[in-house]
């Protein structure tokens, strides 16, 4: 089989099982399946030769197709458990494409619950990874409170994790960031050599906190919908 080289592929990972929010990946978010927002961002960016959804679930597969994504193959049961990692799923997808003669240069793993993801961020990430030949590019958001002033609870009493920081001014602390939980843009060749999502060779894209919302429970979901409506009203998204 002759190998077909393509520039870039979007891999939206959406398994059927969801413990905290029932059918989370296709639950209606302001009237539309939440996965449709991720698919639309990938489609509107116009930077991908292929936009696929990796899922083990027939309903998710059907909804994904209806919204413009491809399902060239279903995800294995091995990589559809609570213990399956994002890197495991991406590796399986890339291996499956290789078996049908397709090898992308770049892959972007997109989470299905990222309604604030905008095509402009995907385009920026793509340009960065191509220009800098880095291993990966990911969006990050700054912690809103100095983590060096963290508190812990011991025997129902509060303690500072690092007491020496009690009198340090907030502006004197270094800035700390965390993964925005939206996507990972990867150099496929480098990723397959060492399948980790980010390392010392990762380039960050700073995202405003208003455009980031972790959705792990119903309260998070409600906050995300509230934020989305607000941002729409303000023409921010």
**Domains of the chain (ranges, CATH numbers):** 4-141+177-233 (3.90.550.10)
Q: Where are the alpha helices (DSSP H) in 5-85?
A: 35-45, 58-66
One digit per residue, pLDDT tens: the chain, 237 residues? 566 778 999 999 999 988 889 999 999 999 999 999 999 999 999 999 999 999 999 999 999 999 999 999 999 999 999 889 999 999 999 999 999 999 999 999 999 999 999 999 999 999 999 999 889 999 999 999 999 999 999 999 999 999 999 999 999 999 999 999 999 999 999 999 999 998 888 999 999 999 999 999 999 999 999 999 999 999 988
| pTM for this model (two decimals) | 0.94
Cα–Cα dist 64/53, whole Å: 7
Cα–Cα dist 55/17, whole Å: 10
Question: What is the token pair recorded at 211?
Answer: 């455009």
């Amino acid at each position: 089989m002759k190998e077909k080289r393509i520039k870039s592929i979007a891999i939206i990972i959406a398994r059927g099982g969801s413990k905290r929010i029932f059918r989370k990946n296709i639950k209606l978010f302001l009237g539309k399946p939440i996965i449709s927002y991720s698919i639309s961002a990938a489609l509107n960016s116009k930077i991908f030769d292929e936009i696929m959804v990796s899922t083990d679930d027939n309903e998710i597969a059907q909804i994904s197709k209806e919204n413009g994504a491809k399902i060239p193959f279903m995800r294995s049961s091995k990589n559809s458990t609570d213990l399956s990692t994002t890197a495991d799923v991406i590796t399986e997808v890339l291996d499956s494409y290789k078996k049908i003669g397709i090898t992308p240069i770049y892959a972007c793993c997109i989470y299905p619950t990222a309604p604030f993801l905008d095509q402009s961020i995907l385009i920026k990430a793509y340009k960065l990874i191509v220009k800098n030949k880095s291993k990966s590019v990911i969006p990050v958001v700054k912690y809103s409170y100095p983590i060096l002033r963290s508190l812990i609870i011991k025997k129902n009493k509060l303690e500072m994790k690092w007491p020496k920081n009690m009198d340090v001014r907030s502006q004197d602390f270094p800035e700390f960031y965390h993964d925005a939980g939206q996507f990972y843009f990867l150099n496929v060749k480098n990723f397959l050599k060492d399948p980790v999502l980010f390392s010392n060779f990762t380039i960050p894209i700073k995202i405003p906190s208003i455009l980031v919302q972790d959705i792990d429970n119903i309260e998070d979901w409600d906050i995300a919908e509230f934020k989305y409506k607000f941002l729409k009203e303000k023409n921010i998204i």
